[in-house]
Each structure stands twice: as C-alpha cells, then as structure tokens.
Amino acid sequence: MPWLKMHLSIDADMNVHETRITTTEVSDSEGMDAVLPADVPLDRVIAGRS
C-alpha cells in the first residue's frame, strides 16, 4: 500500500476545521491550499515540511 499524507487545519484551541488525505505526490503547499479557508483572515500559518 502506498504512503498517504494528511493535510489538516486546526485553530489555536486545537479544533480541527478541515482535513484532506492525499497521495505523496501532492505537495504540502497544494495540500495547504485545500484546507485553509479562503474567506477567513489568518494571522499565522505553521507548517511542517516533507
């Protein structure tokens, strides 16, 4: 079975707002675009790298 990635967005209180499971071919920046709300202002983004 191939590896999968989980992209998720959470708030400061650790509430999960969105998740996406993708293949490893989807970059982290593409995954981030899928889980961040376009209509909500953000004051920071913390991301890992892979």
Would you tell me how many other CB atoms lie within 10 Å of the CB of residue 32? Answer: 15
Contact 36, 17 (CB under 8 A): no
pLDDT of res. 22: 92
pLDDT in tens, 1-49: 689 999 888 888 888 988 999 998 988 888 888 888 777 778 888 777 6
pTM, rounded to two decimals: 0.68
Contact 16, 29 (CB under 8 A): no
Higher per-residue pLDDT: 50 or 25: 25
